[in-house]
Amino acid sequence: LYNNYIIQIGRIYYNASNSKGCFKSNFTNDFSGDPDGILTPIFLVDRGECSFVTKVRNVEKAGGSLAVIIDDSSNSIKDIIMSDDGTGAGIRIPSMLISRKDGEKLKKFL
């Protein structure tokens, strides 16, 4: 907790073959090299093709500690609400939406 914000430190993963996160699969088989020595996988998924809830649930089932969803348009994300589609009960990991521009930076970094 830092200034009333929860800070997640971990390793970022992105699976281009399941880039939308819409089907159940492992996002990676290599969880080595987590920077804090504690397994905290952060999965990037692209927006589109299925609901936010489906993406986050699939990330959670794959062992992710945080789902970061990358917007699929160049528009501002400030007015987008990642709403529950009615099936989100029981999800226990946090999720967030980031801009396409920021998502491309993270993908390039990887």
Q: Do 59 and 21 touch, CB atoms closer than 8 A?
A: yes
pLDDT band for 27, please (50, 70, 90 cuts).
Answer: low
Gyration radius of the chain over CA positions: 14
Share of the chain above pLDDT 70, in %: 80
The per-residue pLDDT for 83 is 82
User: d(Cα 76, Cα 16) in Å, to the nearest integer?
Assistant: 24
Name the strand (E) or helix (H) holding 53: helix 52-61
